[in-house]
A and B are shown apart, each in its own frame.
Chain A
Amino acid sequence: MPIPTPFHSRTAPLCTTFEWRDWAGYLAPALYEPAHDREYYAIRNAAALIDVSPLFKYEISGPDAARVVDRLIPRRITNFRVGQVLYTPWCDEDGQVIDDGTVARLAENYFRITAADPNFRWFEDVAFGFDARVENVTEALAALALQGPNSRAILRELVAGVDFDALRYYHLAHGAIDGFDVTITRTGYTGDLGYELWVAPENATALWDRLMACGQSYGLLPAGMVALDVARIEAGLLLIEVDYKSSRHTQTEAQKSSPYELGLGWTVHLDKGPFIGRDALRAEKARGSEWALVGIAVSWTDLERLYAREDLPPQVAGRASRQAVPVYRNGRQVGQMTSHTFSPILKQYVGLATVRSEFAALGAPVEVEVTVEYRRKRAGGLVVPTPFYDPPHKRA
């Protein structure tokens, strides 16, 4: 049975739907109100509070900590300064992705990594022989994501000791609220302006209460997984076990993915020196990848036409779907669209798909399967760049 997070005493009474998801063994609200629209628009137009405590959190410290991180991730860390955060996947020796998350450099030899899956054993194995210590701090840190264009105004009012104008995208700062410490990273899973706040569990409820009270004037609402799922697809952000499978969970080689195949080639620096998976990735780079992760915009005109044949309006508005559907080109299946949603802000049906790389060029036409009145149909679509939604205030 899933267990409560440190915020449960606050989220539970607000979760009027009693609809919860199991996130890594923790109770996560799916949606607080009967419809997720307001929560979604809070993310996009005001501010939303999302309990992200179930993330796995690890710390790597000690004289060799930087060398361990350098060995673990394919990204270069020579320019990775204290106070910065990196997004990165990490791979096995075959260059296949195990997990992805953020790495924060809290001090010269002190890193904090977020992960979707338990990684303690792997990190310890990677650190074997180095003078570094790996610690699982998952239970020692409660985490809240404050996301949306008003998030900075709320924090500015609430947090002492942080210059929010100077806190850039993918950077961190330490501050205080009413005497307790909070670490703030300008990160998130929504593709909007947003922050993640990390506190000791005993301060979790105080953090929640202060944010909710202060946020009321800024349209702050708690948001659940349903709204978050729409936002993260619009932001083009991957979800493990949905858009790709961890190489440690797959049953066949074919189910694995390399960073190149996930559109994360930009995180791989083959010239940085040895890291786990480098040789395999170098070989893949030379030979070309078989698959590519792309964004697809499904033709609305086609959807309307398909539904109109059944005398119905297009029935797509609603929750994001994690039900993969086949993607075709010239009648032949070339991949699958693994996450898809109607984007309320773009007025477009969009999805993340894995397709054979020869069909992955921007602007390439594809067809995706749509089920209309129990019958399988195909709607046209185009390969488009991600993020689908990328507001300037995300980085500003």
Chain B
Amino acid sequence: MAAHYDVIVIGGGHNGLVTAAYLARAGKKVLVLEKRHLVGGASVTEELYPGFKFTVFSYVVSLLRPDIVRELELPKHGLTILPLESTLTPLPDGRYLYRGADHWETLRNIATFSERDAGAYDDYSRSMYFMAKAVKYILGIRPPDPTSYRPRELWGLVEMARHFLALPEEQLWLLARLMTMSAADFVEQWFESEPLKATLSASGIIGTFLGPRSPGTAYVLLHHYMGEIDGAFRAWGFARGGTGGIAEAIARSAQAHGAEIRCDSPVAEVILKNGRAVGVALENGDTFHANVVASSLDPRLTFLKLLDPAQLPGELVESIRSFNTRGSSGKVNLALDALPELVAPPGPGRHLAGSISFSPSVDYLERAYDDAKYGDFSRQPYVDVIIPSVIDPGMAPPGKHVMSCFVQYAPYELREGTWEEKREAFGDAVVDALSTVMPNLKDIILHRQVLTPLDIEEMIGISQGNIFHGELSLSQLFFLRPAPGYADYRTPVPGYYQCGSGTHPGGGIMGAPGKLAALEILKDN
């Protein structure tokens, strides 16, 4: 007879591992089942070309909650976050906007585009600090159900109201705007120069099937601002060894507390007995039993694939079926023979150690979205580039480099043709766009990996390749994530829980859904 577990966690992505680590720390006997040969989910590093380590999917980190880093003792288990302190927006005409650690240099550079923007920059940064601080609170709580009269829910609502009503008036107004405006309109309250507006509002479209002028994207922008490193909001970093380093550190922390992790173990279904989850069956027929099963997969898989929808309330099935998981982004990973040369600034230097944003103007981004809206990939895409090997030399052989290009837009479903036919054309569009600012790029590519939303779905399972397990639109956040009445990490099936990015507070390498879910599981068990 196989071992019996307290908890089985389906999916060894960062959230599944966080849930497992917290439960193991609480003394539970935990098993994590991962379908791939390595843990991490979208947070993996793979050597796809000899000597070159690719941050295949997710590539930077900011949102990982500091309390999780400390409580799971991740530094002790190998997590090191290297600073990614600058953003460079190169323009094809040779001008560039560099924002880095030197405040005055940043202001000078902004002023070359607009003196007014330089004057507004500090106001903007300060406002975003207040916004990030205001919403930080909700990152740490289980969303209360506003329709319930249970004391626990009412108390949660009161607490939340107290928090937000304590904000100064102007912050409350700004927050309301932020929740409803488009990213472009939001940043236009402060700025007028295109490279700055475009690069800032680009944070509002990442992972979203919306353009910078679509209402609701300002919130996504905030989602990318509320990360914290060492007490500083908006700090972005690169994990040593790539994002796989994060998952591995969490896995080691979980294992140190006794959790068991099995790779190459795709789960086919959750086993129910008398309406209660009692275990899982793998695709190969193996079964494992436990008192609790937690799924870190996206809501579609969690409810509609691992369970028989006929067992679920019709309303929930409806909600999940209409839960928006449109994939919008692709990834191009390059192995390079040398460092790319920029049109400007020339040569190697610290400007290559940050992110390089290909976002010349808001119109450019919006046009990229226009293509995608009607089912094409962007002919001239938005690209967010980092060169991991400049930040962490261990990512590539000496003198060689890896380059990670996050690309929008790439719709999950194409209007014409298949991704199989168009994948390389999409990759070419990305390389062509970047070549306008990196003239030597085409000559130094040793290996190219192009990932479409379809590839993301096929490789790591996320429905439609949506990097957040479901869009971060207002209609899918907080007590609506993933469905009204089921935002508390529970499901209609006793003993079955959700712990992935499809739950509050959403995607990114944050770990908060995993932790909050673990705390709810511990309350019930």
Contacts and interface: CB of A to CB of B under 8 A. Distances in A.
Interface of A: 33-35, 37-38, 41, 44-46, 150, 153, 216-219, 300, 313-317, 342, 344-348
Given A153-B398, A217-B398, A34 B100 contact: yes
Interface of B: 66, 69-70, 74-75, 80-83, 85, 100-102, 105, 133, 228, 230-233, 240, 348, 350, 353, 390, 392-394, 398-399
Contacts of A216: 348, 399
A41 B75 CA distance: 14
A231 to B, nearest CB: 14
Given A35-B101, A37-B101, A38-B83, A345 B75 contact: yes
Contact of B233 (A37, A313, A316): A313
B9 to A, nearest CB: 25
Nearest to B100: A34
Which of B82, B353, B399 is most buried by chain A, counting CB atoms within 10 A of its CB? Answer: B82
Contact of A315 (B85, B102, B231): B231
B291 to A, nearest CB: 31
Contacts of B393: 45-46, 150, 217-219
A37 B66 contact: no
A348 B394 CA distance: 25
- Looking at chain A's contact residues, the main secondary structure is loop
Contact of A346 (B75, B228, B390): B75
A45 B83 contact: no
B350 A33 contact: yes
Contact of B80 (A34, A35, A44, A342): A44
Nearest to B105: A34
A129 to B, nearest CB: 53
A45 B392 contact: yes
A317 B82 contact: no
A219 B228 CA distance: 26
Contacts, number: 67
Contacts of A46: 392-393
Nearest to A157: B398
A171 B85 CA distance: 38
Contacts of A38: 83, 85, 350, 353
Contacts of B83: 35, 37-38, 41
28 contacts: A33-B101, A33-B102, A35-B102, A37-B85, A38-B83, A38-B85, A44-B80, A45-B80, A45-B82, A45-B394, A46-B393, A216-B348, A216-B399, A217-B398, A219-B393, A300-B70, A313-B228, A314-B231, A316-B230, A316-B231, A317-B230, A317-B232, A345-B75, A346-B75, A347-B66, A347-B70, A347-B74, A347-B75
Contacts of B398: 153, 217-218
B23 to A, nearest CB: 22
Given A33-B350, A316-B230, 4 more contacts: A41-B83, A313-B231, A314-B231, A317-B230
Contacts of A342: 230
A300 B102 CA distance: 27
A348 B82 CA distance: 15
Given A41-B83, A44-B80, A218-B398, A34 B101 contact: yes
Nearest to B393: A219
Contacts of B232: 313, 317
B85 A35 contact: yes
B399 A217 contact: yes
A342 B353 CA distance: 23
Nearest to A153: B398
A314 B83 CA distance: 18
A169 B242 CA distance: 29
Nearest to A315: B231
A317 B102 CA distance: 16
A375 to B, nearest CB: 19
Given A33-B101, A34-B105, A219-B393, A347 B230 contact: yes
A165 to B, nearest CB: 18
A216 B393 CA distance: 10
A11 to B, nearest CB: 17
Contacts of A300: 70
B231 A347 contact: no
Contacts of A347: 66, 69-70, 74-75, 230
B141 to A, nearest CB: 16
A70 B394 CA distance: 44
A348 B70 CA distance: 9
Q: Top 9 A-B pairs ranked by shortest CB distance?
A: A219-B393, A217-B398, A34-B102, A35-B101, A217-B399, A317-B230, A313-B231, A37-B83, A314-B231
Contacts of A345: 75, 80
A346 to B, nearest CB: 5
A35 B231 CA distance: 16
A167 to B, nearest CB: 20
A342 B233 CA distance: 17
Contacts of B101: 33-35, 37
Contacts of A346: 75
A37 B81 CA distance: 11
A227 to B, nearest CB: 12
A217 to B, nearest CB: 4
A61 B413 CA distance: 80
A315 B392 CA distance: 27
Nearest to B401: A217
A308 to B, nearest CB: 11
Contacts of A315: 231
Contacts of B105: 34
- Among B69, B230, B233, B394, find the residue whose CB has the most chain A CB atoms closer than 10 A: B230
A66 B70 CA distance: 50
Contacts of B390: 219
Contacts of A45: 80, 82, 240, 392-394
A218 B233 CA distance: 30
Contacts of B228: 313
A44 B82 CA distance: 10
B339 to A, nearest CB: 9
A342 B100 CA distance: 21
Nearest to B102: A34
Contacts of B85: 35, 37-38
A43 to B, nearest CB: 12
A158 B508 CA distance: 42
A317 B240 contact: no
B288 to A, nearest CB: 35
A216 B339 CA distance: 11
Nearest to B397: A217
B243 to A, nearest CB: 16
A317 B231 contact: yes
A45 B393 CA distance: 8
Contacts of B348: 216
Nearest to A35: B101
A314 B233 CA distance: 11
A306 to B, nearest CB: 12
A27 B66 CA distance: 38
A38 B101 CA distance: 10
A344 B109 CA distance: 29
Contacts of B399: 216-217
A189 B353 CA distance: 26
Nearest to A314: B231
Contacts of A316: 230-231
A348 B75 CA distance: 10
Nearest to B390: A219
A88 B380 CA distance: 64
A309 to B, nearest CB: 14
A153 B399 CA distance: 13
